[in-house]
């Protein structure tokens, strides 16, 4: 039974029980409609409490139904039915009232919530706008400015703040159902407020819409939904209720079928699958009550900050006292900058710092549950660390390496209890970037792997399981990005043209600007190591820039020149002449934006297909998450693989063949060719 009705004397309590998140499936809508009909004609009922079982109030329309033809009762009609019921309905909210869930609550005459609840209209995050009156009723309740903020950003508001804004009518401490029934009984004795459809939208200065439009456009970048959502709120302010409802519904239906909405829905589901690889079903992670980080450099300090942000006590181990001090000072800078940005208070920063012990003594790690090594990217250095950890830590402690390129199998070789070892690849800055690649070795047990995923959840990261290969998923694709970018330079494109094209594609930065920001020396170091292993990495121009110590912004020049103290890239004559020299043997072409994008993005797709084929990534969606959360690939394109599928895999294969014929890319891989037959990526078997 999805919806039940019970009576508490003169108050009816409707309870929805539709796990996991009480989404408004067709059955729930129908049952709620029937309940409204029943209770309207029941003279013994004076008010109706709408409450949910399980972990949350209604979390929205059922996203699984978005691809299907809508079936009546449609949500806008249901909300109107509740709003015009003969008895007042009171929404009793715990967990989250999101999207259609908040729209149902706005149809109710009152809303009460437990202090931990939150409410929001996250539709724009799915590439759509509210479709059941959210953008029309919310400004009538809290005014256009606050409503615009919520509708165009999709951010949720916690119950206490929602109470202060007038979005909810009471915060219930203690038992929600009892509190809601008491509230309902008291409300039924008094004159009722007008339903929202009969209220007007408070007037705002006409300049509000122009100013807000600019702000929303700049935040939304290339996403369509936020500006369309703003238009809905504006219509609510300027037209009558029914006209605004029709406008919102039309916008919702248009956007629901748009490529951006399909892409964002794909990311939504990918983000929910990634934390649960099938092999871990039913596997219990080990408890994580304390953590340690070995190495207090940029990466180590960032990881330690992320662990502290999640509330874990942290021990930071360095090789000598000077390095300990430097590590602690790196952490201080991270927390100070969070205070400056208004993310945390001064007191919180002090509390986070006080939860870190800096030491050189591995003996302090005897009871630590998880240790993450983030020392210099050198096999011998790392092995020495794990040798010490192997004896210092208890045998159930999870030992993790944050290597980006080295082979975790080799790092773990010889440690005691290798089943507790796993790779945890963070992205810099580690306290900010959402991606965490989790890399098991052949000996990693499911419980250890599950602990990696549990840690990701604690740190609010997006975990992606990755297999072992050079660079795992993300950096292996990055190598192709960079190599292709250099191939373009050798064939007649300029760094500016390449960066401009990739920005136009939707990346926050082009490949050359990004290297200048991060520093060219790190990749040069990796290339040296690769050459020592007998590999032949392709970076003819970057190699020459590094010989000249042009490492990027930090050395005053890299792919671009930088005026002292400036970060604006200026075309460099030195770089242009190096490119000309290196390009002497290569035929020159005219490059427009579309061809530049193809020459970079499609070989990335090809590499990703190999990664999928080798099972380094388990699912195409996982690769999408790596690109989005680790490398700024535009979310609204759905990630690299979704982009390729939407563009058409057959077309991708054809374009790669052309590039390969010109010696500008490798030919399409077998898996890509086979996937092109069905239009969707297939894995190996």
Provide the sign of the torsion angle of the four alpha carbons 405, 410, 414, 417, taken in this order: positive
**Which residue in 380, 385, 206 sits closest to 293, CA to CA?**
385
For ligand 3H9, the binding residue among 73, 88, 107, 134 (CB under 6 A) is: 134
Q: Looking at beta carbons only, is 227 or 529 nearer to ligand 3H9? A: 227
Q: Is 475 among the catalytic positions?
A: yes
Interaction between residue 56 and ligand 3H9 (CB under 6 A): yes
Q: Compute and round to an integer the Cα radius of gyration of the chain.
A: 28
Among residue numbers 241 through 300, which ones bind ligand 3H9 (CB under 6 A)? 272
For ligand 3H9, the binding residue among 73, 88, 100, 621 (CB under 6 A) is: 100
Q: Which stretch, 126-134, 185-193, 338-346, 397-405, contacts ligand 3H9 (CB under 6 A)?
A: 126-134
Rounded to the nearest whole angstrom, what is the least distance from the CB of residue 144 to ligand 3H9 in the complex? 18
- Catalytic-role residue among 118, 330, 373, 425: 425
Interaction between residue 123 and ligand 3H9 (CB under 6 A): yes
Residue 670: both structure tokens together: 């077998």
For ligand 3H9, the binding residue among 9, 34, 64, 86 (CB under 6 A) is: 64
Interaction between residue 131 and ligand 3H9 (CB under 6 A): yes
Rounded to the nearest whole angstrom, what is the least distance from the CB of residue 89 to ligand 3H9 in the complex? 18
- Catalytic-role residue among 248, 437, 513, 645: 437
Q: What gap in Å lies between CA 598 and CA 612, rounded to an integer?
A: 20
Q: Looking at beta carbons only, is 20 or 508 nearer to ligand 3H9? A: 20
Interaction between residue 119 and ligand 3H9 (CB under 6 A): no
Q: What gap in Å lies between CA 382 and CA 255, rounded to an integer?
A: 51
Q: What gap in Å lies between CA 431 and CA 308, rounded to an integer?
A: 9
Interaction between residue 490 and ligand 3H9 (CB under 6 A): no
For ligand 3H9, the binding residue among 47, 48, 51, 96 (CB under 6 A) is: 96
Q: Looking at beta carbons only, is 24 or 665 nearer to ligand 3H9? A: 24
Interaction between residue 98 and ligand 3H9 (CB under 6 A): yes
Rounded to the nearest whole angstrom, what is the least distance from the CB of residue 651 to ligand 3H9 in the complex? 31
Q: Looking at beta carbons only, is 139 or 557 nearer to ligand 3H9? A: 139
For ligand 3H9, the binding residue among 2, 10, 42, 63 (CB under 6 A) is: 63
Q: Which three-class secondary structure state does DSSP give residue 186?
A: helix
Q: Is 613 among the catalytic positions?
A: no
Asked if residues 512 and 482 have their Cβ atoms less than 8 Å apart, the reply is no
Q: Looking at beta carbons only, is 123 or 369 nearer to ligand 3H9? A: 123
Rounded to the nearest whole angstrom, what is the least distance from the CB of residue 136 to ligand 3H9 in the complex? 11
Interaction between residue 99 and ligand 3H9 (CB under 6 A): yes
E strands, 415-499, where?
421-426, 435-440, 462-465
For ligand 3H9, the binding residue among 14, 35, 59, 105 (CB under 6 A) is: 59
- For 568, counting Cβ atoms within 10 Å of its Cβ (0-12 exposed, 13-18 middle, 19+ buried), the class is exposed
Q: What gap in Å lies between CA 280 and CA 276, rounded to an integer?
A: 7
Q: What gap in Å lies between CA 188 and CA 200, rounded to an integer?
A: 23
Q: What gap in Å lies between CA 104 and CA 97, rounded to an integer?
A: 9
Interaction between residue 135 and ligand 3H9 (CB under 6 A): no
Q: What gap in Å lies between CA 447 and CA 286, rounded to an integer?
A: 7
Q: What gap in Å lies between CA 460 and CA 463, rounded to an integer?
A: 9
Please give the backbone phi and psi of residue 545, each rounded to the nearest 5 degrees, phi first. -65, -40
Q: Is 669 among the catalytic positions?
A: no
Q: How far is CA 684 from the centre of its chain?
A: 27
Residue 78, by phi and psi: left (phi above 0), alpha (psi -120 to 50) or beta? alpha
- Catalytic-role residue among 330, 338, 475, 606: 475
Q: What gap in Å lies between CA 91 and CA 86, rounded to an integer?
A: 16
Rounded to the nearest whole angstrom, what is the least distance from the CB of residue 110 to ligand 3H9 in the complex? 21
Interaction between residue 158 and ligand 3H9 (CB under 6 A): no
- Catalytic-role residue among 390, 404, 669, 675: 404
For ligand 3H9, the binding residue among 61, 142, 412, 618 (CB under 6 A) is: 61
Rounded to the nearest whole angstrom, what is the least distance from the CB of residue 90 to ligand 3H9 in the complex? 21
Asked if residues 121 and 98 have their Cβ atoms less than 8 Å apart, the reply is yes
Task: Summarize the chain as % helix, strand, coil (round to 5).
Answer: 50, 10, 35
Q: What gap in Å lies between CA 253 and CA 33, rounded to an integer?
A: 22
Rounded to the nearest whole angstrom, what is the least distance from the CB of residue 618 to ligand 3H9 in the complex? 15
Q: Which stretch, 93-101, 419-427, 440-448, 593-601, contacts ligand 3H9 (CB under 6 A)?
A: 93-101
Residue 13: both structure tokens together: 């309590």
Among residue numbers 630 through 669, which ones bind ligand 3H9 (CB under 6 A)? none
Q: Which stretch, 55-63, 461-469, 484-492, 505-513, contacts ligand 3H9 (CB under 6 A)?
A: 55-63
Asked if residues 94 and 15 have their Cβ atoms less than 8 Å apart, the reply is no
Q: What gap in Å lies between CA 82 and CA 36, rounded to an integer?
A: 7
Please give the backbone phi and psi of residue 373, each rounded to the nearest 5 degrees, phi first. -85, 130
Asked if residues 106 and 137 have their Cβ atoms less than 8 Å apart, the reply is yes
Q: Looking at beta carbons only, is 100 or 408 nearer to ligand 3H9? A: 100
Q: What gap in Å lies between CA 276 and CA 333, rounded to an integer?
A: 35
Q: Is 437 among the catalytic positions?
A: yes
User: Binding mask 2-41 vs ligand 3H9 (x if CB under 6 A, - otherwise)?
Assistant: ------------------xx-x------------------
Provide the sign of the torsion angle of the four alpha carbons 358, 361, 362, 366, taken in this order: negative
Q: Which three-class secondary structure state does DSSP give residue 449?
A: helix
Q: Looking at beta carbons only, is 16 or 21 nearer to ligand 3H9? A: 21
Q: Which stretch, 60-68, 393-401, 551-559, 576-584, contacts ligand 3H9 (CB under 6 A)?
A: 60-68
Rounded to the nearest whole angstrom, what is the least distance from the CB of residue 70 to ligand 3H9 in the complex? 7
For ligand 3H9, how many residues bind (rule: CB under 6 A)? 24
The number of residues making up the chain comes to 685
**Which residue in 196, 82, 197 sits closest to 141, CA to CA?**
196
Rounded to the nearest whole angstrom, what is the least distance from the CB of residue 382 to ligand 3H9 in the complex? 34
Rounded to the nearest whole angstrom, what is the least distance from the CB of residue 275 to ligand 3H9 in the complex? 7
Q: What gap in Å lies between CA 424 and CA 433, rounded to an integer?
A: 13
Interaction between residue 598 and ligand 3H9 (CB under 6 A): no
Q: Which three-class secondary structure state does DSSP give residue 425?
A: strand
Rounded to the nearest whole angstrom, what is the least distance from the CB of residue 202 to ligand 3H9 in the complex? 23
Interaction between residue 73 and ligand 3H9 (CB under 6 A): no
Q: What gap in Å lies between CA 307 and CA 430, rounded to an integer?
A: 10
Q: Looking at beta carbons only, is 100 or 358 nearer to ligand 3H9? A: 100
Rounded to the nearest whole angstrom, what is the least distance from the CB of residue 459 to ligand 3H9 in the complex? 14
Q: Which three-class secondary structure state does DSSP give residue 636?
A: helix
Among residue numbers 404 through 463, which ones bind ligand 3H9 (CB under 6 A)? none
**Which residue in 46, 59, 55 sits closest to 9, CA to CA?**
46
Rounded to the nearest whole angstrom, what is the least distance from the CB of residue 129 to ligand 3H9 in the complex? 8
Asked if residues 462 and 434 have their Cβ atoms less than 8 Å apart, the reply is yes
Looking at the annotation, which residues are catalytic? 404, 425, 437, 475
In the complex, the residues that contact ligand 3H9 under the rule CB under 6 A are 20-21, 23, 56, 59-64, 75, 96, 98-100, 103, 122-123, 126, 130-132, 134, 272
């Amino acid at each position: 039974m999805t919806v039940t009705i019970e009576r508490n004397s003169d108050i009816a309590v409707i309870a929805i029980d539709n796990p996991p998140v009480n989404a408004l499936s067709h059955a729930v809508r129908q049952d709620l409609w029937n309940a409204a009909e029943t209770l309207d004609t029941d003279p013994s009922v004076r008010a109706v409490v709408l409450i949910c079982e399980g972990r949350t109030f209604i979390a929205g329309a059922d996203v699984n139904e978005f691809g299907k033809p809508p079936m009546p009762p449609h949500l806008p009609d249901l909300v109107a039915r509740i709003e015009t019921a003969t008895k007042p309905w009171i929404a009793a909210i715990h967990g989250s009232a999101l999207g259609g869930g908040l729209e149902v609550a706005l149809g109710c005459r009152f809303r009460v919530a437990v202090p931990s609840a939150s409410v929001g209209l996250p539709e724009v995050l799915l590439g759509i706008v509210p479709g059941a009156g959210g953008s029309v009723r919310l400004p009538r309740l809290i005014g256009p400015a606050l409503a615009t903020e919520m509708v165009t950003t999709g951010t949720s508001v916690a119950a206490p703040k929602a109470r202060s804004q007038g979005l909810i009518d009471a915060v219930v401490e203690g038992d929600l159902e009892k509190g809601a029934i008491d509230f309902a009984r008291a409300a039924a004795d008094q004159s009722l407020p007008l339903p929202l459809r009969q209220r007007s939208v408070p007037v705002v200065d006409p300049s509000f819409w122009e100013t807000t439009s600019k702000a929303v456009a700049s935040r939304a970048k290339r996403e369509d939904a936020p500006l369309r959502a703003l238009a809905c709120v504006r219509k609510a302010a300027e037209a009558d209720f029914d006209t605004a409802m029709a406008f919102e519904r039309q916008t919702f239906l248009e956007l629901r079928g748009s490529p951006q909405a399909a892409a964002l829905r794909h990311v939504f589901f990918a983000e929910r699958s990634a934390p649960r690889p099938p092999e871990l079903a039913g596997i219990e992670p080990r408890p994580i009550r304390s953590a340690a980080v070995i190495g207090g450099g940029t990466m180590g300090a960032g990881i330690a900050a992320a662990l502290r942000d999640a509330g874990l006590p942290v021990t930071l181990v360095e090789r000598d006292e000077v390095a300990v001090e430097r590590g602690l000072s790196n952490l201080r800078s991270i927390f100070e900058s969070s205070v400056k940005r208004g993310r945390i208070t001064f007191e919180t920063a002090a509390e986070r710092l006080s939860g870190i012990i800096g030491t050189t003594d591995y003996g302090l790690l005897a009871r630590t549950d998880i240790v993450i090594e983030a020392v210099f990217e050198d096999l011998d250095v790392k092995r020495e660390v794990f040798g010490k950890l192997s004896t210092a830590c208890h045998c159930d402690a999870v030992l993790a390496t944050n290597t980006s390129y080295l082979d975790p199998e080799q790092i773990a070789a010889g440690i005691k209890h290798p089943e507790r070892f796993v790779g945890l690849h963070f992205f810099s800055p580690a306290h900010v970037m959402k991606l965490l690649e989790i890399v098991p070795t052949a000996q990693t047990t499911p419980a250890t792997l599950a602990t990696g995923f549990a840690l990701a959840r604690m740190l609010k990261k997006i975990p992606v399981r990755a297999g072992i290969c050079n660079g795992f998923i993300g950096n292996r694709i990055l190598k192709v990005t960079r190599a292709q970018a250099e191939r373009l330079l050798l064939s007649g494109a300029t760094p500016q043209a390449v960066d401009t094209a990739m920005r136009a594609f939707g990346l926050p930065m082009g490949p050359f600007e990004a290297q200048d920001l991060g520093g060219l020396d790190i990749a040069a170091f990796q290339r040296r190591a690769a050459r020592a292993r007998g590999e032949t990495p392709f970076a003819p121009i970057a190699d020459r820039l590094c010989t000249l110590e042009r490492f990027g912004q930090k050395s005053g020049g890299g792919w671009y020149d930088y005026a002292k103290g400036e970060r604006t890239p200026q075309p460099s004559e030195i770089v242009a002449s190096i490119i000309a020299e290196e390009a002497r043997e290569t035929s020159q072409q005219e490059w427009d934006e579309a061809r530049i994008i193809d020459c970079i993005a499609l070989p990335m797709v090809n590499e990703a297909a190999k990664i999928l084929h080798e099972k380094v990534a388990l699912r195409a969606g996982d690769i999408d998450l790596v690109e989005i959360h680790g490398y700024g690939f535009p979310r609204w394109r759905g990630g690299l693989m979704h982009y390729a599928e939407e563009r058409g895999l057959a077309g991708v294969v054809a374009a790669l063949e052309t590039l390969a014929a010109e010696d500008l890319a490798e030919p399409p891989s077998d898996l890509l060719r086979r996937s092109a037959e069905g239009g969707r990526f297939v894995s190996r078997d």
